[in-house]
Amino acid sequence: MHTGPLVILDPGHGGADPGARGPNGAVEKESVLLIARIVRVELERQGYRVLMTRYDDSNPSYDDRAATANAHRDAIFISIHVASTGTIGTVHTYYYRFSSALPTVTGVASIPPPAPPGGLGLWEEVQLPYTDASHRFADILELELAQRLPGSPATSSAAPVRELRSVALPAVAVEISSVLVSDPNTLLSMGPPLATSIVRSLQTFRAAGSAGGD
């Protein structure tokens, strides 16, 4: 039986965009795809529905990734990255930070955004009404991660993570440290605690009545 919202996992980079590269062979696009697969299996084992923005070594555009997310209402979007630096074995969680020139909007949009015509950035500010919900979920998730991965911060941070800007859902990015590991397989061990933290965060987030959508 499925539990809670759909979880949309977004492995960053892909295709011709490798992301960060480490001196010992770690490549971000490969690591995040494998981690997303591990997280997906665990979430599904816990009864959650999971969708990924890519399942192979492809590189969907930002609008394509957003379109995958925006086709759903009761969902949470989580973009997964590996940092080029940082304390190995820690995770930082981010929500989208808009320019101060943009207006502050409280609450969650009640209707899905229209699909943007090719080449036009009509989704540039779609995340704006979801910023509060994204911030709350990011803080909940970061606290869970800090309990399982010592050295991770206790609160999330705001950052202009491009994958989040066009998503009309609560959306966060997690950045795992780092490609500087001596063995790239070490990064895969981050999958299970990340999955457990996501499950517990979803439960807390929904219990507080914070999840948007129908």
Is 16 domain-assigned? yes
Sequential pLDDT tens for the chain (214 residues): 666 789 999 999 999 999 999 999 999 999 999 999 999 999 999 999 999 999 999 999 999 999 999 999 999 999 999 999 999 999 999 999 887 644 433 333 334 454 554 444 567 889 999 999 999 999 999 999 999 999 999 999 999 999 999 999 999 999 999 999 999 999 999 999 999 999 999 999 998 874 444 3
Look at residue 45 and tell me if it is in a domain: yes
CA distances from 182 to 18, 35, 71, 74, 179 (A): 18, 17, 40, 39, 9
Q: Which amino acid is at 110?
A: S
Confidence (pLDDT) at 100: 61
Instruction: Give the model's pLDDT for residue 1.
Output: 61
Length of the chain in residues, anyone?
214
**Would residue 212 count as lying in a domain?**
no
CB contact set of 118 (below 8 Å; sequence gap of 6+): none
Which residue range is the domain that position 186 belongs to? 6-207
Whether 96 is covered by a domain: the verdict is: yes
Identify which of 81, 66, 65 has the alpha carbon closest to the alpha carbon of residue 32.
81
CATH code, domain carrying 173 = 3.40.630.40
Number of domains in the chain: 1
pTM over 0.85: yes
**What DSSP designation does 117 have?**
P
Report yes or no on 213 lying in a domain: no
